[in-house]
A and B are shown apart, each in its own frame.
Chain A
């Protein structure tokens, strides 16, 4: 099946710093990628939808200046958490829509655990 990777898998950063998370579709091109956030014992919450070459669409309540999303190519989207605070600590998951003709679906990355100290 189609594979989506995320890097890093875990990151610890200090309050006030920025951290970048990469999401790559390894064996298919993805015109659309999605970013989710998941707090402990909660479900995934959609943060934003990003389309290659255009600005991301953010869900209500998600600060676009704090969570910068760049989708510069058909295989890479990045999420940068700027001026991170402890309340930004969460599990960030990306997904990419694409695949082969007979298996076109939304595929998920393994997630990135962010801890802000």
Chain B
């Protein structure tokens, strides 16, 4: 899987949008961008994924640049419960039995 680069940490005020960037300049044409998060002492939670189009679900939006070398995860109205480590991962589609490989992620701290 291609390597990703994320900032180590970010802060966000409660109620504001949290924009988490990720660089994946070596992404291959068939690799997707996935985002997971891990709240302290819990298993990772799937957030969203995309190939090249922007995606939105009930949790977040994913903006992927046209060249696909970077992306941004947007939490539109961050709450205290969004405090977690966020992992950006690029991978081939599931089904091939290939594991997700986690980098260091971004620790997002949401404060009131």
| Residues of A in contact with B (beta carbons under 8 Å apart) | 1, 4, 6, 31-32, 34, 36, 43-46, 49, 51, 91, 93, 95, 97, 104-111, 113
Specify the main secondary structure of chain B where it touches its partner: loop
Q: Is the CB of B94 within 8 A of A104?
A: yes
Closest CB of chain A to B6's CB: distance in Å?
11
The dominant DSSP class at the A interface is strand
B99 and A108 contact, CB distance less than 8 A:
no
B residues apposed to A, CB below 8 Å = 36, 38, 41-46, 49, 87, 94-95, 97, 99-105
One of A31, A43, A104, A108 near B45 (C-beta < 8 A): A108
The residue that B43 contacts in the complex, of A1, A46, A111, with Cβ under 8 A, is: A111
The 10 A-B pairs at the shortest CB distance, nearest first, are namely: A108-B43, A32-B97, A44-B102, A34-B99, A43-B102, A108-B44, A110-B43, A111-B43, A46-B99, A93-B43
Cα–Cα, bound, A111→B45 (Å): 12
**Chain B residues, Cβ within 8 Å of A93:** 43-44
Residues of A within 8 A of B43 (CB): 4, 6, 93, 95, 108-111
Per the bound structure, the CA–CA distance linking A101 and B54 in Å amounts to 22
User: Which residues of the other chain, B, contact A111 by a CB distance below 8 angstroms?
Assistant: 41-43
By a CB distance below 8 angstroms, the chain A residues around B49 are 105
A-chain residues with CB within 8 Å of residue B104 when the two chains form the complex = 43
The 16 listed contacts between A and B (C-beta, < 8 Å) are A1-B46, A4-B43, A31-B97, A34-B99, A43-B105, A46-B99, A46-B101, A49-B97, A49-B99, A91-B41, A95-B99, A95-B100, A97-B95, A111-B41, A111-B42, A111-B43
